[in-house]
Amino acid sequence: TYLGLAGDTAFDTAMAKLTFGDNADLSRIRTAQAPGGSGALRLVAELLQRTRAGATVWLSDPTWPNHMPVMRAAGLQIRDYPYFDAASGSVRFKDMVAALRTAERGDVVLLHGCCHNPTGANLDAAQWAEVADLVVERGLLPFVDIAYQGFGEGLDADAAGLRLLAARAPEMVVASSCSKNFAVYRDRVGAAMILAKDSAQADVAMSQMLSAARALYSMPPDHGAAAVRIVLEDAALRADWQAELEEMRLRMLRLRVGFAEALRRQSNSDRFDFVASHRGMFSRLGLSEAQVERLRTEHAVYMVGDSRINVAGLPEDGMDALAKAIVSVLD
């Protein structure tokens, strides 16, 4: 038989708690299992299109390349806000806030919950608080995409910005992915969440979202989410999972520090120190396309054309050789 439009409801509850925290007021929150984080993004986008047709969604510049087509496919308009300063590897927070101050009431602001993809640069606690004040003051709807919870500072710390928004904003929407933190990429496990003003409005929004799911894919797949639910509900399995996730997180951190140190040694400068303070699987090194091309042809070092690297793929025992190659193509 089918699962039902909202999928595995025990999975939904477990995901709401993982995301909003164990003590969250679930009466205002509704969750629908979705086919991956991408499916959750699209489902939320459809809900937005039904409730505020043609609304503008503000995306960070740059952002994960799928955000734009997914939002557009639902009929939403796109604007972007400045986010990343390639030279310093940091967030252009002042510019970001200035751009969002021009947003109209009812506009939607899409934020990466943690581990910003593709840049690796993230908001700190004070910046999240400022964004929360801004969205409340200007009547904007926060839309948090959280695809790497547990990969940055830890499971709860990575959701801290999202939880701060949830405590202050009257309404918000969330798309969450289990692809990375549960390693279920191929099983398509994600969750679309609504935080509404009150329980009655949450029910109305949820019925709209489920009716959108019916038109998109009907029922979500079962087994990946069931596996996640079993792990989250069983104390021993959950402890194992958290320990493995923490091991992965610390490994990425170690690789970041090792890579930044090798780059400092090879370049005799602090130009790439930001790699150590970035979080998540990715960082953008700030190289030009021509430099990325030279790395490919002259050194057999491969990265995305915009100089995004996957930190998990760095060679632990070959950092200096890699750093040397990178430094050799700098101007």
Q: Does the annotation count 128 as an active-site position?
A: no
Catalytic residue among 40, 55, 64, 132: 64
How far from the centroid of its chain's Cα atoms is residue 315's Cα?
A: 25
CB closer to ligand PLP, 191 vs 322: 191
Cβ atoms of 191 and 224 within 8 Å: the answer is: no
* 117 touching ligand PLP, by CB under 6 A: yes
CA 2 – CA 7 distance, rounded (Å): 9
* 185 touching ligand PLP, by CB under 6 A: yes
* 99 touching ligand PLP, by CB under 6 A: no
* 190 touching ligand PLP, by CB under 6 A: yes
CB closer to ligand PLP, 190 vs 258: 190
Q: Which stretch binds ligand PLP (CB under 6 A): 177-185, 208-216, 254-262, 297-305?
A: 177-185
192 Cβ contact list (under 8 Å, min separation 6): 31, 32, 34, 39, 40, 41, 43, 44, 47, 173, 174, 175, 176, 209
CA 118 – CA 65 distance, rounded (Å): 9
Cβ atoms of 128 and 76 within 8 Å: the answer is: no
Q: Does the annotation count 273 as an active-site position?
A: no
Q: Does the annotation count 64 as an active-site position?
A: yes
Q: How many CB atoms lie within 10 A of CB 53?
A: 10
Q: Which of 7, 36, 120, 150 binds ligand PLP (CB under 6 A)?
A: 36
Q: Which stretch binds ligand PLP (CB under 6 A): 34-42, 77-85, 133-141, 237-245?
A: 34-42
* 33 touching ligand PLP, by CB under 6 A: no
CB closer to ligand PLP, 148 vs 274: 148
Q: Which stretch binds ligand PLP (CB under 6 A): 32-40, 94-102, 221-229, 309-317?
A: 32-40
DSSP assignments along 229-259, one per residue: HHHHHSHHHHHHHHHHHHHHHHHHHHHHHHH
Catalytic residue among 55, 103, 107, 180: 180
Cβ atoms of 177 and 40 within 8 Å: the answer is: yes
Cβ atoms of 231 and 182 within 8 Å: the answer is: yes
Question: What does R_g of the chain's alpha carbons equal in angstroms?
Answer: 20
* 302 touching ligand PLP, by CB under 6 A: no
Q: Which amino acids are annotated catalytic? A: 64, 145, 147, 180
Binding positions for ligand PLP, rule: CB under 6 A: 36-38, 64, 112, 117, 145, 147, 177, 179, 185, 190
